Structure 1
Amino acid sequence: MAAFALSPSSLFGSRISEPVALISSKPPSMLNFKRTLLIKISCDYSCLEVKDVHYRPPGTQINLLNGVSFSLPEKSFGLIFGQSGSGKTTLLQLLAGFSKPTSGSIHIQRYTDEGKPNQSPKSLVPERVGIVFQFPERYFVADSVLDEVTFGWPRQRGGPQLKDYLALNLQRAFNWVGLNGISLDKDPHSLSGGYKRRLALAIQLAQVPDLLILDEPLAGLDWKARADVVKLLKHLKKELTILVVSHDLKELEDLVDRSWRMEMGGFLREEQLMVYFQSRLVLMHLNDAIP
């Protein structure tokens, strides 16, 4: 897990500007020389923007992604679905910085509350992206929960401020995923399936990513663990921008703010889940009607 020291407010959040004095146009005799102060609140927001991304692996002649474009505002839950082999995981790898697009851009754009850009777009830095792969517990390497979470953190000696910062990050991550009561000495491989997923999330959340990517977060879990993870994601979307690839559409439906279908050939199309479910239902009825 890459480490970075960037507060969430550096790209996301609201700010309060200096007080603005409002002077009435009424005559002075009616004003009594009073001034009214108004606090102007600016609700700037940021948005992940992927624009016309194509990707062709080096040494090949076929694009795995073709003209992929979408946007996801901060603290939103985005869902990408589609057939296996259509390019979903490839897109996640580009967002995480494991590969670079052949063409196109991936950046963060900040907007005013009127929806106008108020600064130049900034590239999405890989160190600010947290990614949890399918079956993340298979990649645990440490013998204790504490060592697993802090694996990959800076090993050089730091002063009290750095230690306090890391400790606060760790505590916040554990609070977010509900691991407060767990022993830090516990073997991560001995945890239940649901708690292993919580730990995998805590590893990425300890450094507060600008974007959290999840690849099939419900895969391989029993019904109770699946319900627990869905409940956890509902809480996390209040704090983070989340992008999920999943086939478990019904279970995640209530969390989704924006959704896209990846079609074979690496073409991404925005599609609301309700529309998708209705089209599937119509297709089932048509199939049943054919003798």
Structure 2
Amino acid sequence: MWSILINVFASQIELSFGLIFGRSGSGKTTLLQLIAGLSKPTSGSIYIQRYTDDGHPNQSPELLHPRRVGIVFQFPERYFVADNVLDEIIFGWPRQRGGLQLRELLASRLQKAMTSVGLNGISLDKDPQSLSGGYKRRLALAIQLVQMPDLLILDEPLAGLDWKARADVVKLLKDLKEKLTLLVVSHDLKELASLVDQSWRMEMDGVLKSERLPV
């Protein structure tokens, strides 16, 4: 049974980086899938609560719509389907015909997303599978950022990367937390600790408890 109130620190000055940790099999990935709308709760609803800088709610809780959430899976490169970077990024875009205004909007979003993740120097004709591990993660992030989500959730973003790629992704997440709210599931607590504003431990019975990261 899932009934979750997600508190998102979303003022104009400071956004948050939330981290969920816990033992394998406790339900962390299931929680992310529920938030992203990929799974349906057996009961209850998922709400979002916004706060001001002084910690007070600035509006009533509202239902969290999946269209406002982006998700990057563990090993997202396994789900790449296109032969080049451009087609991979626009794969999920609406297919209906649009005028010049729509095309300009999508082109602007594409440019901003590529800039945000440091992919400006990558050819859009390049095969996504030929990229390094770190750049594949950057591409996976760009795909979600084009949709301009309010909340971006990531499942084990450092998994399978070498030390340099891990450091690059940590730096990238540090930059992204200044632009939107991030919710991350990870076992890599030490590497992400400096970014975390709030953390929760998930118990094996699926209960989520607010807890500081272990030192």
Q: Same fold (TM over 0.5)?
A: yes
| TM-score tier (shorter) | over 0.9
1:255 aligned to which of 176, 184, 195: 195
How far did 1:112 drift? Answer: 5.2
How far did 1:251 drift? Answer: 0.3
2:78 aligned to which of 132, 138, 142: 138
What are the within-5 Å matches in structure 2 for residues 99-138 of structure 1? 99-111=39-51, 115-138=55-78
AA paired with 2:202?
M
Higher strand share: 1
Q: Indicate the residue corresponding to 2:163 in structure 1.
A: 223
How far did 1:126 drift? Answer: 0.7
The DSSP-based 3-state class of the residue aligned with 1:250 is helix
How far did 1:101 drift? Answer: 2.2
Q: Which has the higher contact order (CA 8 A, sep 6+)?
A: 2
In structure 2, how many angstroms separate the alpha carbons of the residues matched to 1:254 and 1:167? 34
AA paired with 1:259?
S
Asked whether the 8 Å contact 2:5–2:47 carries over to 1, the reply is no
Q: Does 1:71 align with 2:7?
A: yes
In structure 2, how many angstroms separate the alpha carbons of the residues matched to 1:112 and 1:272? 22
Q: Indicate the residue corresponding to 1:269 in structure 2.
A: 209
What are the within-5 Å matches in structure 2 for residues 10-159 of structure 1? 54-55=1-2, 70-74=6-10, 75-111=15-51, 115-159=55-99
Asked whether the 8 Å contact 1:72–1:258 carries over to 2, the reply is no
Could you give the per-residue CA deviations for residues 143-192 of structure 1, whole angstroms, max 9, x where no partner exists? 00000000021122211110110001000000100001110000001000
In structure 2, how many angstroms separate the alpha carbons of the residues matched to 1:222 and 1:136? 16
Task: State the TM-score, normalizing by the size of structure 2.
Answer: 0.93
In structure 1, how many angstroms separate the alpha carbons of the residues matched to 2:6 and 2:63? 15
What are the within-5 Å matches in structure 2 for residues 141-220 of structure 1? 141-220=81-160
The DSSP-based 3-state class of the residue aligned with 1:104 is coil
Could you give the per-residue CA deviations for residues 228-254 of structure 1, whole angstroms, max 9, x where no partner exists? 000000000000100000000000000
In structure 1, how many angstroms separate the alpha carbons of the residues matched to 2:194 and 2:46? 27
Structure 2: which 5+ runs fail to align?
none
Task: State the TM-score, normalizing by the size of structure 1.
Answer: 0.69
How far did 1:108 drift? Answer: 2.4
Corresponding pairs, count: 211
How far did 1:118 drift? Answer: 4.6
Asked whether the 8 Å contact 2:6–2:46 carries over to 1, the reply is no
Distance 1:226 1:114, change over 3 A: closer
Distance 1:214 1:265, change over 3 A: same
The DSSP-based 3-state class of the residue aligned with 2:45 is strand
In structure 1, how many angstroms separate the alpha carbons of the residues matched to 2:20 and 2:205? 15
Distance 1:163 1:136, change over 3 A: same
